Amino acid sequence: MTSLAHKDSLDSLRLKVLSIVGTSGLVDDPLSVSAHNTDWRGRYHGSAPWGVQPATTEEVIRVVKACAAAGVHIVPQGGNTSQCGAATPRSTGEIFLSLSRMNRIHDIDHANATLTCDSGVILANIQSAAKAAGFLFPLSLASEGTAQIGGVISTNAGGTAVLRYGNMRALVLGMEVVLADGRCWNGLHGLRKDNTGYDLKQWFIGAEGTLGIITRAVLRLFPLPRQRVTAWLEVTDPAAAVALLRHLYRDCGDRISGFELVSQTALALVVQHLPQCRPPLGKISPWSILLELEESEAQAPLQVMVENSLHKASAESWVTDGVIAHNEQQASEFWGLRELISEAQKREGISIKHDISVPVSRIPEFIERASAQLEQAFPGLRIVCFGHVGDGNLHYNLSYANSLKNAEFIPQTALVNRIVHDVVAQLQGSISAEHGIGQLKVKELQRYKDPVGLALMRQIKQTLDPTGLFNPGKVLDPDYLT
């Protein structure tokens, strides 16, 4: 197709889409288009000429059919908070489809403990609606004020409470999905048990919009905790953190909802760039743990249980200092330190980011081996390590404090990734724990994914989206990126 013919096709499609969604559903002013073409990190910049914001599932169906007929690709987009460019268009042969106007919470079934909503509902609004109804929706992210539930599902987000409640695969009971051929699969069932063959919803959770467009979902709700204890602890090293987690499991069982590891470098960046933040212990410890436990029984002695357990941990030298939040405000301040690490890094400048997972028992080994190899290859490198140690997920980000030296370092991304991801593979881990593949890790996936598993993924893509209509260049298409 010549560029002139391509433009004519896009102009014709634009008029067709306008007739479907109206002026309020068409996004074509340059400022808005630019925002949709840029990812949150500012790393990826696309060139989609315009986009669409349908208001109903029926409008999504009609837009998908029109784009398929015109041969124009669709990039589904939620809150555009992806860490790996999954929701960012790339070329003028694509348009973005934002679900932001599909933002209704349709139903809260109290007896079934479920919430049904559109995919454009912001995560924080789901949390608030659940709380108002006397329930907890436990998934929590730093971007929860912007992230939309469709994108959260499409990336199988994890967040800080996976330890107790699981990631999105455990929290989604049903969904509605528009397929590449314009059909709509209605799987909106709030069932805990459904053994009627393949669990089709799991194909779309974590698929990053490459297999279909999620338009509605049924989510699991939980009882609101009656008590919550939050503590900021100093530990000597990651091995002590893992030993502490094991000890707390023995003493406190599944009440542990958060167990976050924060390195000295990570906390220092937060304090440096966000002066309202103060280290809870009055010092920036080499390694810190943010611990949270929840209890549904109002009269249970949760705080006494935690204090006794931490006292025993201190006697074993697993904990060397610590403080328990004495009110919700202080607990919120503790969590703010953890959640603002990404923002502090963003202000510091570009870094090479990794979102990896290994078995919990091997976290100390990963940190030791990867750090030693990187220091040998790049002396003086700054390593910002933090994450959800309770489920084996670390964010392991690398840069130089000196901006000129860092500018020379960033082009070494391929070599850096090889060092980090080779260690991950040797420890039977994953190169993406919760952020997904997007366009950032497409080539890395080809290197580290089991070949049979990769072939099965391609077969699923071919079955559901044989023309590659949805989100090209993401997850499975390395040739598209060259």
Residue at which a domain ends, from 223, 257, 281 = 223
Do 186 and 244 fall within a single domain?
no
Do 69 and 109 fall within a single domain?
no
What pLDDT is stored for residue 2 in this prediction?
38
Task: CATH number of the domain at 189, please.
Answer: 3.30.465.10
Nearest to 108 by CA among 89, 76, 131, 78: 131
Do 199 and 266 fall within a single domain?
no
Residue at which a domain ends, from 60, 80, 100 = 100
Task: CATH number of the domain at 375, please.
Answer: 3.30.70.2740
Do 121 and 148 fall within a single domain?
yes
What pLDDT is stored for residue 4 in this prediction?
44
What pLDDT is stored for residue 8 in this prediction?
64
The model carries a pTM of: 0.90
Asked if residue 476 is part of any domain, the answer here is no
The H or E element containing residue 247 is helix 238-252
Q: At what angle do helices 341-348 and 328-339 cross, to 10 degrees?
A: 40
End-to-end Cα separation, the chain, in angstroms: 19
Asked if residue 421 is part of any domain, the answer here is yes
Do 110 and 218 fall within a single domain?
yes
29 three-state secondary structure: coil
d(CA 242, CA 178): 43
Residues in Cβ contact with 182 at an 8 Å cutoff, skipping those fewer than 6 apart: 61, 62, 64, 65, 68
Q: How far is CA 406 from CA 374, 378, 401, 402, in A?
A: 14, 11, 7, 6
Number of domains in the chain: 4
Asked if residue 403 is part of any domain, the answer here is yes
Do 65 and 120 fall within a single domain?
no
Q: What is the DSSP string of 251-305?
A: HHGGGEEEEEEEEHHHHHHHHHH-TT---TTSS--SEEEEEEEEES-TTS-HHHH
Asked if residue 266 is part of any domain, the answer here is yes
Domain encompassing residue 231: 227-342
Asked if residue 121 is part of any domain, the answer here is yes
d(CA 404, CA 352): 15
d(CA 352, CA 333): 27
Residue at which a domain ends, from 79, 100, 121 = 100
d(CA 147, CA 145): 6
Q: Which residues pair with 76 in a beta bridge?
A: 97
Task: CATH number of the domain at 82, please.
Answer: 3.30.43.10
d(CA 162, CA 140): 9
Do 145 and 214 fall within a single domain?
yes
Residues in Cβ contact with 352 at an 8 Å cutoff, skipping those fewer than 6 apart: 397, 398, 399, 409, 410, 412, 413, 416, 417
Asked if residue 112 is part of any domain, the answer here is yes
Do 122 and 196 fall within a single domain?
yes
32 three-state secondary structure: helix
Residues in Cβ contact with 432 at an 8 Å cutoff, skipping those fewer than 6 apart: 84, 355, 356, 441, 445
Q: Which residue spans within 146-275 are E strands per DSSP?
A: 172-178, 184-187, 213-220, 222-223, 227-235, 256-263
Task: CATH number of the domain at 262, please.
Answer: 3.30.70.2190
Do 284 and 366 fall within a single domain?
no
Asked if residue 468 is part of any domain, the answer here is no
Do 398 and 429 fall within a single domain?
yes
Q: pLDDT in tens for each of the 482 residues of the chain?
A: 335 446 668 889 999 999 999 999 999 999 999 999 988 777 788 899 999 999 999 999 999 999 999 999 999 999 888 878 888 998 888 999 999 999 999 999 999 999 999 999 999 999 999 999 999 999 998 889 999 999 999 999 988 889 899 999 999 999 999 999 999 999 999 999 999 999 999 999 999 999 999 999 999 999 999 999 999 999 999 999 999 999 999 999 999 999 999 999 999 999 999 988 999 999 999 999 999 999 988 888 999 999 999 999 999 999 999 999 999 999 999 999 999 998 899 899 889 999 999 999 999 999 999 999 999 999 999 999 999 998 999 999 999 999 999 999 999 999 999 999 999 999 999 999 988 999 989 999 999 999 999 999 999 999 999 999 999 999 987 665 54
The H or E element containing residue 423 is helix 413-426
Do 95 and 111 fall within a single domain?
no
Strand 393-399 relative to strand 382-388, pairing: antiparallel
Do 218 and 231 fall within a single domain?
no
Asked if residue 469 is part of any domain, the answer here is no
